[in-house]
Each structure stands twice: as structure tokens, then as C-alpha cells.
Amino acid sequence: MIALSDLPRVTEKGLELLAKLNINTVLDLLFHLPLRYQDRTKINHIAQLQAPCDAQIIARVVSARVVFGRRRMLTVSLHDESGELQLRFFYFNKSQVEAFSEGRRVLCSGEARLVARKLEMVHPQYRVLAEDEEVILQQHLEPIYQLTKGLQQRRLQSMIQSALTWAQKNPEYFVDLLQEYAADRSPTLIDDLLSLHQPSDSHESELLLNKQHPAQRRLIFDELVAHHLAFLQIRETAHKRKANPVQTDGRLAQEFERNLEYKLTDAQQRVLLEIRQDLTASTPMMRLLQGDVGSGKTVVALLSSLEAAEKGYQTALMAPTELLAEQHYRYFSEELLPLGIQVVWLTSNLKRKQRNETLELIASGTAQVIVGTHALFQDEVQFQHLALCITDEQHRFGVHQRMTLSEKGLLDQCHPHQLIMTATPIPRTLAMSMYAHLDHSIIDQMPPGRQPIKTVAIADSRRAEVIERIKQACAAGAQVYWVCSLIEESETLRCQTATETYDNLCQQLDGFKVGLVHGRLPSQEKNQTMQDFAQQKVQVLVATTVIEVGVNVPNATLMVIENAERFGLAQLHQLRGRVGRGRQQSSCVLMYSSPLGDYAKKRIDALRKSTDGFKLAAVDLELRGPGEVLGTKQSGDVRLRMADLVRDADLLPEVQHCAQWLMHEHPKRIPLLAQRWLGKATDYARA
């Protein structure tokens, strides 16, 4: 196959821009498929638009005016014979304002959204028409691609055209790797690529727009097979590795459980049995532990670490934030030191002397449980015998980061066991595709005595009522979280910041101690405030999302989330989970700015109606889509290009069957299929 640089229309600068999109070969360029299509084949009537939707209209200017507020903007009111629509521009010049004179005809296209019950387009493409000008419509749908700064749609379309021309002359590079499996697929792979990059049949426009075109369905199937195979290969690779069996009589775990003030739930005991069985094997455990917020995953992780400690091995617990790592460190230290187990913690902010002492304890094996952040997998960290890696909030880490920590435990060709925890429940549809390489455990019970959290949604115009409710809660001896979405003033977002809110609440809650925690505070100050809150020296904690996970203050019974419409559903559920951790009735107030958009309203309604994380995860999946399949961007930017695990769920059983067929009948084709869809990101299979 020729090099990308040998294609006509691909310049040296073009190569640099394509590399930013992970396009490094002709194959990558051809499989950089359209995100969506623009339909400029017709003119829409305003009254017929069902927002949000992509539309093209011709309308007359009713008025145009520059509005001065938090941001200067140009608003233009348009109408056709059926209805009205508003254009909004944040970047404009004097000539643009003058062009929108009353009565002028305007052709504009873009996404029409419903804002305050009015149709609106923000920064649409537009052209002011002459009075008698006839508009020539496009004949076919126009593909729209993901871009990077400096690369325009037209330029990328031109480079893809060059690649298609070459592909048509060299069809031997584009064999159908699944031909025998689906023998009824008549068009060639190149024909399918042409159908998607250069749609020509106007009768198939509706199919393309709805991702139901046969070419789309065929390539979606191929992509899902490639990803599923990737995960199966990870699993197969793991099963060929060796691990040191962690087999004990459970003396330490039994002693710990005897001193617990509560009894483990049946679900926790079931999961612990699954983990202990894995630990006794001579192949490394690769287990995903799911559990809703407050279900008791941390105590399961602690009991798992006791198995390793009793055998004389080390456990590393990696958390995504210093605050969460600090919480885990305190909990593990309090519980394990009485059992004679030394716990240390390691973050990048430790002073040199303390850091060197900690590194020595880890290298000598004196430290049996090591809690930390990303600092755990830095080069200078050397374990004596790391047998168990526990990753908390796994979605915050990339596959390569988890892999690097695991490789630090490689000793005499033996790999450490891996326990990957998440408090973000994963719907079955997603789990069977995203985590096919892992065994699954679910804690599906809450500790006894917990009451469901009452959730209400209140417009921010009722802020005074919320303040009064906080006063009542604090007077009754309870504690309160107030969560803000920003730390400091932003020109673009109409949100009160954490620092402003802290100052205001200090004035309005005279007689009660208010604390402030956000990510930019020095660690010592942040941890001291959290400690004061845990010890009830602070009644109201104003915070950003640094408290999203791991914070456990049973006396906190009221959570206020400001600008709730700006948070995702999973994040709102996590934040709400900071209350309701004791036996008292707890409440969550979702304070929003009016008017609410459609998606924000659905998120908030879902949260009001349910406290079940798995139900909310299914709703979240439908609203947001699955995102990147292999975790965060650190995993190598592997993401689904065409498939959608909600929309295309009907294909998954056949995808699994086809993947097994390839592994048994045509294993040599697997690398070709992986290269086609995953490109350079195929080394994740070492994880």
C-alpha cells in the first residue's frame, strides 16, 4: 500500500494535520468515516422543524440588533411564511450587522435548537440573497468529518477523494475479511466506502441520515467485530500469563471481620468469594467490580489486600485524585495498622525526604499496602513483590496506565492480579462489549439501614429557600455539601463560582462554619478542610467535583448541586452519593438555571425518579452514547467510529459469534481487521 504522502493533494502540512486525527496511512484516511451528513438538497419550512435538527431555510430579516450583556452578541430575527427563527452570533463585525437589514432574504443552514421555546441557530452558515436570486440546491448529501484546528472540511474531503481514487485502482488491498461469514454481502468494501464518502443515490438519503444504510450497517458490524476481538485477545493473552497464587487460611480477614461494627451484605460476601477463588489461581485475576455508590466496594478491596498481606505480598491501590487517595489511605491505615500491616501513600506532592522514605519502604517490602495516584507507576517506584493491583474509578485511567502499574509487579515472569473497581454501573449492553476481557462481579445490595435519598429540582430563582433549608439542617446538627461547577469566573458560563458561593454563604450562614475545597487549593489546605468536615468542625462544605468519589461523611445529610444542568447524569448520581451514607434521611437539591434544555431536563427528571445506579446508567447510555470504548483518551484514542452500542445493540450477539468464528477459522485475518479499525492503538492488547 502506498504511503499517505504519495497521494495527490496531501501536502507535508496536510500530513501533520492528519496525524493529529490519528490518520497515518491511506487505510486510516479511508476509514475516517463521516460523523454525519448535511442535507442541503432541500429548503425547510421553519414551522416544520423538530428541534434539535439540521436544517436549511430561506427567510426574511425582521430585525437585527446588537445586545450588550455578559457577552456582546448579534441576534437576528427571521421569518418565512410558516414561522419565525432567531440567529445568534457571538463573533461578528460591523458589515455583518449592516448586511442583515430589514426585509433582506437570507439563506442559512445549521442546527436549529429550541431555546426558551423559540427556535434558534447559533453561528449558522448563511448568505444574504439578492431579491430575485434563485438558490441552486445540492444534489446529494454532504459528508461531515471530524476535524482538527487548521484543517477545513473541503480540504479533508479532497484528500479522501484522492484516497478513494487510488483504492478503486488497487482493490487487492481491500478484501472482505468476513466474506465467508456473510456470503450474501454483494457490494465490495470499496463500493461501501464510496457510498459513505460520496453518497449519490438521493433515494437512500434517509437511510444514511439514520445510520441504516446497508453500507453503514456492514461497516458497523465489521467495526464491532474488530473491537470485540481486541478484548478477546486481551483475555486470551492474560490466560497465558502466570501469576503467584495467593492462597491463605484467611486468618487476617477473619480477624478484621470479627471487629467490624456491621455484617457484610450477602452481595459483598459473594464477591469476596469470587475474588478469593481468582487469587488462588496461577493465572492473573482480571476482574471488574461494579457497585453503586455506598454499596461497600472499599471494604471488599481492603479484605482482598489482606489476602496478599497474609501471604507476604504487596498490594497497590491506585486512585485518580489526591483527595480520594488520601481518603483511602486514612481508612486503610486505621483498619490495617492494628493488624500489624504497614500502609503508605504516594503522590507527586510529597516532599523529597518523605518521598524517598516511602520509596524505600516500598522497595524493601516493609510497606505491604501502597495507596497513591498516578505517581505509583513512575519509574523510580520499585516494588519488592507486588501481587495485587487495585484500580479505583477505573474509567478515570487509560488502559496504558493500568498496564504500566501491572508491569511494575512483574517478577520471575509472574504478573500481579488485577481488581478494577467502578462506582459507575455499566449497563449489560455496554459491559458485554466494553469489558469482554474481564470477569464481572457486582455488589447489588446496599448496607442495611440506608434510606433512599430524596431528590428535588429547584430553579435558582428560589435560592433563598435553599439557604433557609441549609440553616434548618445545620441547626439540627446535620452537615451540608454545596457543589459548584466552576472555581473562578468564566466569560462563557453563567455559573456562580465556588469562591463566590463560599463568600456569599459565609455571610448568609452567620453562626455556622463554612469550608471551601477545590482542585487548585494546596493539598495540605484541601485535606485539612476535608478532615475538619469529617470531624464536624465545618458544617457546610462548598466544593467542586473533587468530592465526587470516595468522600464518606455519614453526618452529611443535605447535598445542593448548583447549575445541575451542567453535569452529566453519572456525575450527578456520584455527587448525590456523598449523602445518604448514615441512617438519617438525606436529601439532594438540584438547583438549575432556567430554561432547561431537553437533555438537561431528561437527566434531572431521571435523577429525581430513581436512586438505582444501574437504571440511571442505562438512561445515561441512551442520552450520551457509550463514548470511547477502551476507556479514556490515554488508552490510545481508540473509539467507535461508526457504531453506537445503544442503536446497534441488535448486532451484538452476531458480533460475538462472528468474532469466535474468526478466532477459530481465520486467526491470521484478525490483525488485518484490527489494523483497519484500530490503527496504531492495537498494543492495548498487552494490558
Report the chain (687 residues): mean pLDDT per 10 consecutive residues.
89 93 90 88 91 91 89 92 93 91 94 87 92 87 90 92 93 84 74 90 77 89 89 81 92 92 92 96 92 87 96 93 84 94 91 92 95 88 93 65 72 88 72 76 84 91 93 94 72 61 91 88 84 92 77 88 87 87 89 82 90 80 54 45 80 89 90 80 47
Looking at the structure, do residues 281 and 365 belong to the same domain, yes or no? Answer: yes
What domain count does the chain have?
4
Instruction: State how far the Cα of 584 lies from the Cα of 451, in Å rounded to an integer.
Output: 7
DSSP single-letter state for residue 631: B
Looking at the structure, do residues 49 and 129 belong to the same domain, yes or no? Answer: yes
Instruction: State how far the Cα of 494 lies from the Cα of 517, in Å rounded to an integer.
Output: 21
CA angle 425–427–428, rounded 5-degree value: 125
Residue 636 confidence (pLDDT): 36
Looking at the structure, do residues 70 and 204 belong to the same domain, yes or no? Answer: no
Task: Decide if 655 is inside a domain.
Answer: no
Provide the residue type at 683 as one letter: D
Of 137, 166, 185, which residue sits at a domain end?
137
Task: Decide if 193 is inside a domain.
Answer: yes
Looking at the structure, do residues 307 and 350 belong to the same domain, yes or no? Answer: yes
Of 610, 640, 659, which residue sits at a domain end?
610
Task: Decide if 576 is inside a domain.
Answer: yes
Instruction: State how far the Cα of 520 lies from the Cα of 510, in Å rounded to an integer.
Output: 26
Residue position matching grid coordinates 477523494: 161
CATH code for the domain in which residue 257 is found:
3.40.50.300
Looking at the structure, do residues 322 and 428 belong to the same domain, yes or no? Answer: yes
Q: What is the DSSP code string of 193-260?
A: HHHHHS---GGGHHHHHTT-SHHHHHHHHHHHHHHHHHHHHHHHHHHHSB--------HHHHHHHHT-
Domain that holds residue 494: 454-610
CA angle 620–599–219, rounded 5-degree value: 60
Looking at the structure, do residues 69 and 201 belong to the same domain, yes or no? Answer: no
Contact predicate 437/238, CB 8 Å: yes
Looking at the structure, do residues 200 and 251 belong to the same domain, yes or no? Answer: no
Bridge partners of 75, per DSSP, are: 65, 88
Task: Decide if 677 is inside a domain.
Answer: no
Name the strand (E) or helix (H) holding 582: none
Task: Decide if 603 is inside a domain.
Answer: yes
Task: Decide if 192 is inside a domain.
Answer: yes
- Interior/surface letters 405-439, b for 16+ CB within 10 angstroms, e for the rest: bbebbeeeebbbbbbbbbbbbbbebbbbbbbbbbe
Instruction: State how far the Cα of 112 lies from the Cα of 628, in Å rounded to an integer.
Output: 27
Instruction: State how far the Cα of 99 lies from the Cα of 109, in Å rounded to an integer.
Output: 17
Pairing of strands 369-372, 514-517: unpaired
Of 160, 186, 210, which residue sits at a domain end?
210
Task: Decide if 31 is inside a domain.
Answer: yes
pTM of the model: 0.70
DSSP single-letter state for residue 51: S
- Those residues whose C-beta lies under 8 Å from the C-beta of residue 374, and which sit 6 or more positions away, are 318, 348, 401
Provide the residue type at 82 as one letter: S
Looking at the structure, do residues 296 and 274 belong to the same domain, yes or no? Answer: yes
Contact predicate 307/376, CB 8 Å: no
Residue 65 confidence (pLDDT): 93
Looking at the structure, do residues 556 and 467 belong to the same domain, yes or no? Answer: yes
Instruction: State how far the Cα of 154 lies from the Cα of 164, in Å rounded to an integer.
Output: 15
For residue 388, CA distances in Å to 48, 224, 269, 305, 414 come to 59, 32, 19, 7, 12
User: At 321, is the secondary structure helix, strand, or coil?
Assistant: coil
Task: Decide if 665 is inside a domain.
Answer: no
The strand order across the sheet containing 540-543 reads 454-459, 587-592, 556-562, 479-483, 540-543, 514-517
Instruction: State how far the Cα of 579 lies from the Cα of 524, in Å rounded to an integer.
Output: 24
Residue 264 confidence (pLDDT): 93
Residue position matching grid coordinates 426558551: 116
Residue 494 confidence (pLDDT): 42
CATH code for the domain in which residue 63 is found:
2.40.50.140
Contact predicate 393/370, CB 8 Å: no
Instruction: State how far the Cα of 473 lies from the Cα of 489, in Å rounded to an integer.
Output: 29
Looking at the structure, do residues 394 and 421 belong to the same domain, yes or no? Answer: yes
Instruction: State how far the Cα of 502 lies from the Cα of 541, in Å rounded to an integer.
Output: 9
Residue 634 confidence (pLDDT): 37
Bridge partners of 481, per DSSP, are: 541, 559
Looking at the structure, do residues 155 and 176 belong to the same domain, yes or no? Answer: yes
Looking at the structure, do residues 569 and 490 belong to the same domain, yes or no? Answer: yes
Give which of 593, 604, 556 is closest to 577, Cα–Cα: 556
Give which of 323, 260, 329 is closest to 296, Cα–Cα: 260
